[in-house]
Amino acid sequence: MSGSTWLVNGEAVANATELDRGLQFGDGLFETMLARGGEVPWLDRHMERLAKACEVLDIPCPERARIESDLTRLDLPEGPAVVKLMVTAGPGGRGYARPGQVRPTRHLAVFPFPERPERLSLVWCRQRLALQPALAGLKHLNRLEQVLARREVDAMGADEGLMRDTMDRVVEAVAANLFVVRSGRLETPSLEQCGVAGLMREAVLETARNLGIDAQITDISAEDILSADEVFLTNSLMGIRPVKELKDTTGSLPSVEWDREAGLVTRELQQASCWPLGEY
């Protein structure tokens, strides 16, 4: 028996060997890219990160020329937009084992650019991030932890949520990286055990060091967040966004607010225009 018949939305689909491993097991990666003026300004950075991640998961990385061709066919708008690229290990059978030859599948789509407030409201998420150093830093397709955390954020009416790992270390927001400023020193959580290494995170660290700002990658606790002078989030869609408040939803952590005028380091980094859309 070479395959099976599956029902998809009630319709029979023959040959189960063609069922994509990204759907079955999350066996793949993704990039969320900012587009403007009909192009992706950070395409080099995205392709470099994708290539490194594909190497870790042993998935052949799509050639840049193919991605550029796909982008052309998408007919990107002149205004800002969101492009999502997914690369999976392609078709496979029922079990965890991959077929002898991996035939990767790429998916590319464009979406409207999301509006974000100038200053963000955060909540502590109860959902924790599991420790998995083999996948730490990668934008892999296994995102159920973030799905559950986002439900918490939406239920509280906040813009974003902070997530801790199972060792109580603060790692990141649900869909963004985290930075804190304490006594003029910029800190961002270590991602050696879990979390996503965002391109904007990398750009901020580079820019901070060029500006002479002391920037460190380190473990960050909840107490470090509560005592911070400034807190901001980053990703390639929203750039650098300061946090105005952090509310507790767990019943075990205090809430805190940050003064609008206190974000001197945040503003300096924003003005350095390390984000493709520049300062806002």
3-state secondary structure of 212: coil
Q: CB-based contacts of 249: which residues, under 8 Å, 6+ apart?
A: 123, 124, 125, 126, 152, 156
Could you identify the residue written with the tokens 């934008």? 139
In this structure, how many other beta carbons lie within 10 angstroms of the beta carbon of residue 120? 21
pLDDT in tens, 6-57: 656 556 766 544 688 999 999 999 999 999 999 999 999 999 999 999 999 9
Q: Which of 152, 160, 172, 187 is catalytic?
A: 172
Domain that holds residue 26: 16-112
List 139, 152, 160, 187, catalytic entry? 139
- In this structure, are 133 and 220 located in the same domain? yes
* pLDDT tens digits along 104-131: 999 999 999 998 899 999 999 999 999 9
Q: Domain holding 90: CATH number? A: 3.30.470.10
168 and 226 co-located in one domain: yes
pLDDT of 280: 41
Q: What token pair was written down for 247?
A: 């509310």
At 273, which helix (H) or strand (E)? none
Looking at the fold, whether 149 and 83 belong to one and the same domain comes out as: no
Q: Reply yes or no on whether 172 is catalytic.
A: yes
Same domain? For 156 and 53 the reply is no
Task: Give the pLDDT confidence of 128-180 residue by residue, as tens digits.
Answer: 999 999 999 999 999 999 999 999 999 999 999 999 999 999 999 999 999 99
Q: Is there a domain that residue 6 lies in?
A: no
b/e map 215-241, b = 16+ CB within 10 Å = beeebbebebbeebbbbbbbbbbbbbb
48-101 pLDDT tens trace? 999 999 999 999 999 999 999 999 998 899 999 999 999 999 988 778 999 889
For residue 141, tell me if it sits in a domain.
Answer: yes
**Alpha-carbon separation of residue 29 from 23, 118, 140, 168, 200 (angstroms):** 12, 30, 4, 27, 18
Looking at the domain assignment, is residue 276 inside a domain?
A: no
For 195-246, how does the pLDDT look when each residue is reduced to its tens digit (9 = 90+)? 999 999 999 999 999 999 999 999 999 999 999 999 999 999 999 999 999 9
User: Catalytic one among 31, 32, 207, 230?
Assistant: 32
Who wins on pLDDT, 263 or 17?
Answer: 263
76, part of any domain: yes
* Residues 39, 144 within the same domain: no
Last residue of a domain, one of 80, 112, 144: 112
What's the CA gap between 12 and 267, in Å, rounded? 56
Active site residue 84: no
pLDDT of residue 43: 96
